[in-house]
Amino acid sequence: MKKSALIKLSILSSILLLNSGCAFRLFKNSPKTVESRKVMPTSNISTPNFKNIAAECSDDINTVSACNKGKIKPTELKPKIVTSIGEIHKLKSFQGQPITIIEKKTGYLFPQFKNKIVILEMFGKNCSHCIKEIPIINSLRRRYGNRLEIVAIQVEGKMSPFQAKAFIRRHHIKYPIISGETATNLQYNIQNTYGWTGVLPFIMVIKNGVTEFSYKGEVSSRELNRDIKSLM
């Protein structure tokens, strides 16, 4: 075949290839084109990422994790309000409820919850053990009504008001939750008085300023019910 005929055949083949769309698909599917493609964000508003099961949850007192916040250091303490009874902790829940807790040698007083049993809990927002306790505490709140109050302090990392609102809604929480950042002095007193090492959850059952029971880690509904009934 002559050279000119070969050139004409090559040009004709190229035209047919372009018209068929095959060339476009070849370039479209090339690895280089896919790798260099960028997806632009559709919104710059972030939503909180809550996990029901923590990625890391260690009960080892020497390992800081979602279920072990570690100890409060003296450098983290805030100015104190001290009376002849003990330090007064003026706190406020994410829901807007003011809560006063007064230290005693035998436990803690809650002036706004007189003659009531109070569950004071230290928990973490990403601690799997703590998440399992929420339905139990919700159940206790419904069962005992105005004879029992619950105060929970979120101590595992910072939680913004927006995150707290979403967390409370997600888990149907009906009791006050306090930011741990505002209650470092109280946590310091609990670890020094009751030997709390930072393992979560840590639950105390208090009546008339006396800490009657405390639990490190998960506690069953049956055990809590039994102990609370014994105080009524």
Same domain, 121 and 203: yes
Same domain, 31 and 87: no
Same domain, 31 and 95: no
Same domain, 16 and 112: no
Q: Answer yes or no: are the C-beta atoms of 186 and 92 closer than 8 Å.
A: no
* 57 three-class SS: coil
pLDDT tens, position by position, 186-221? 999 999 999 999 999 999 999 999 999 999 999 999
Same domain, 150 and 222: yes
Does residue 84 belong to any structural domain of this protein?
yes
pLDDT tens, position by position, 84-114? 888 999 999 999 999 999 999 999 999 999 9
Does residue 152 belong to any structural domain of this protein?
yes
Same domain, 111 and 204: yes
Domain encompassing residue 174 = 74-230
Same domain, 79 and 30: no
Does residue 114 belong to any structural domain of this protein?
yes
Same domain, 97 and 31: no
Question: Does the model's pTM come out above 0.85?
Answer: no
DSSP 170-230: HTT--S-EEEGGG-HHHHHHHHHHH---SBS-EEEEEETTEEEEEEES---HHHHHHHHHH
